[in-house]
Structure 1
Amino acid sequence: MNTSAGDGSTGQAAYRRSAGSPRGEARRRELLDRITDDLAINGLVDFSLRRAARAAGTTHKVLLYHFDGADDLLRQAIVQLREQRIGNALAVTTREPGRQTLGAWVRTVWPVLMRAESGLRVLDQAIGLAMYDPGRYGWLGREASRQYLPTLVSICPADWPEQRKVEVAEMILATLRGFLVEWATSGDTSGIAAGLEALIRALDREEAAGA
């Protein structure tokens, strides 16, 4: 993946920023939406400022007016993809005390996470980059955790201590992330299905123990 401007420019304050004006912010959101859609379809391979400009129907200089270079643009696009994914997951289920267990929530959400339109491909590539070059791309994994964990903590029983909520949320995140990587690399759907059932049983036991 090439995150340079494509012409030797680094985007280091070479152009005036939109500085958060209402008009500038609206234009920035419009550009980001277009580039996020392109990433969801085409992935991170060969991502560059010039490719982003083509997807947005503008020039790399216009992008540098609104963003602090290719890495900043990539960061914001991936954050937006994750926000969409979290929203899609929450839209299909409601975690209400006495109505749905943690295990049932995971069972309902898992198919949503597997959908291509959820940005699965590019988000898997982002985690792969974080593993391959943590010095440069480790933030892709760290920011994923910061985005997902609050949602996972929120679905835990309200009467649990905060530390327990965090521990269970970390377990869910790490396990589902592992399943997604396994699916992307091996396609072992039967093994993943068996693992998912084991996770659900573990969550049921955890919740029963706290009842």
Structure 2
Amino acid sequence: MDNATGYRRSTGSPRGAARRRELLTTITDDVAENGLVDFSLRRAARAAGTTHKVLLYHFESAEDLLRQVVLGLRERRIGNALAAVASEPATLTDRVRAAWVSLRDEESELRRVLDQAMGLAMYDPGRYAALGRGASQQYLPTLMSFCPPEWPERRRFEVASMILATLRGFLVDLLTSDDGSGAEAGFEALLRAVAREEALDTM
């Protein structure tokens, strides 16, 4: 039994794990379409065609379920970016450009939900800190993989962190501005900074 909820957990069972994945996929699709604003176990249960008690059998709490949903949506974003980068030349500048196009053009629902997740983490960190805390850990390895492999790990981490923080700001600008011209102008400046970083290796 789970001490917090009084419900059993579906741990260790292949059948339970498969059911958990099925539920998570269905609920993630619902959140991607309808957002996070009124998310609850009961809404998730309706979307999955089950009951909130069944969800508590497979997930620790509403917060745990929401965290898993957001993790899955970030994986979708990362997968889209990696697919966009796959055909690009092996320069960091070109990879960042391709990743930005993927982020800029991704479905508005996905961007909206992931922005809502960060907003919840800032608005109520006591309850939703995990929604924000895991974002960098998910995104940074991908951005570090865009960097030349011969760079020291610290340098790849620093450059990837700069790119991540800057792209986050541009995504917010796209969400809140009328035409996105500021984000596009800023992105060109970011590309110049990345190109200068790459040029250090040829001096």
Mark yes or no: TM-score above 0.5. yes
Residue 145 (structure 1) aligned with residue 136 (structure 2) = yes
Residue 209 (structure 1) aligned with residue 186 (structure 2) = no
CA displacement 1:55-88 (0-9 Å, x = unmatched): 1111101101100010000000100111111011
1:69 to 40, 61, 72: 61
Match of 1:47 in 2: 39
What is the TM-score of this pair, normalised by structure 1? Answer: 0.89
Within 1, Cα distance between the matches of 2:21 and 2:138?
Answer: 19
Match of 1:34 in 2: 26
Greater per-residue helix proportion? 2
Give every structure 1 segment of 4 or more consecutive aligned residues whose post-TM-superposition deviation is greater than 3 Å: none
Within 1, Cα distance between the matches of 2:12 and 2:87?
Answer: 36
Mapped contact 1:35–1:52 kept (Cα < 8 A): yes
Residue 194 (structure 1) aligned with residue 185 (structure 2) = yes
**2:155 corresponds to which letter in structure 1?**
R
- Partner SS, residue 166 of structure 2: helix
What is the TM-score of this pair, normalised by structure 2? Answer: 0.92
Aligned CA distance change for structure 1 residues 11 and 89 (closer, same or farther; 3 Å): farther
Instruction: Report the CA distance between 1:118 and its aligned residue.
Output: 7.2
Q: CA RMSD in A?
A: 1.9
2:52 to 32, 37, 60: 60
Mapped contact 1:40–1:117 kept (Cα < 8 A): no
Aligned CA distance change for structure 1 residues 105 and 11 (closer, same or farther; 3 Å): farther
Structure 2 alignment gaps of length 5 or more: none
Mapped contact 1:81–1:118 kept (Cα < 8 A): no
Residue 85 (structure 1) aligned with residue 99 (structure 2) = no
The number of residue pairs the alignment matches comes to 200
